[in-house]
Amino acid sequence: METITRVGVSFEPELLKKFDALIWEKGYSSRSEAIRDLVRKSILDSEVKDERSDVIGTLTIIYDHDVGDVTNKLLHIQHHHHSEISSTTHLHIDEHLCLEVLVVKGKAKDVRALSDNIKAVKGVKHGELVITSRKIK
């Protein structure tokens, strides 16, 4: 069984009031669990800033397939970065717009390069990379 160390945290009254409202809204069972989540997120955010860290996540893009040669350009980039892409899902939003979700993994530097290359293609309307450390504990 894991041991737990207790620590004390001091809050100004107004900050504590806002924090309590937030944790109630999000459904946390305790302040401790909310604080642990905030600490975990901060650690993970710090880890993925290192270009050499192993990351996993998603790249979500929306693009207009009628703009230029966007579809072929996206496929070319994806093939060039095949080692960073685990899978893709493609959805037709309407007659022109497509949504793709790429499940990505690899070194942070390489995953970010893939994301930057794809988001820079003319016809891509929106792109968002969400990554986290592959070493979550």
pLDDT range class, residue 99, cuts 50, 70, 90: very high
pLDDT, one tens digit per residue, over 111-121 is 999 999 999 99
Mean pLDDT value of segment 30-45: 90
**Mean pLDDT score, 49-58:** 91
Residue 136's pLDDT band, with cuts at 50, 70 and 90, is low
What is the pLDDT of the chain when averaged over all its residues?
93
Q: Which pTM does this prediction carry?
A: 0.79
Letter for the amino acid at 35? I
The one-letter amino acid at 18: K
Query: Tokens standing for 42?
Result: 């901060």
The arithmetic mean of pLDDT across residues 55-67, rounded, is 97
User: Average pLDDT in the 42-53 region?
Assistant: 86
β-pair type (124-133, 54-64)? antiparallel
Amino acid identity, residue 33? E
Instruction: Return the number of other C-beta atoms located less than 10 Å from residue 46's C-beta.
Output: 11
The phi, psi pair for 113, rounded to 5°, reads: -65, -45
For residues 20 and 72, what is the distance between their CA atoms, to the nearest angstrom? 50
Share of the chain above pLDDT 90, in %: 80
pLDDT recorded at residue 137: 60
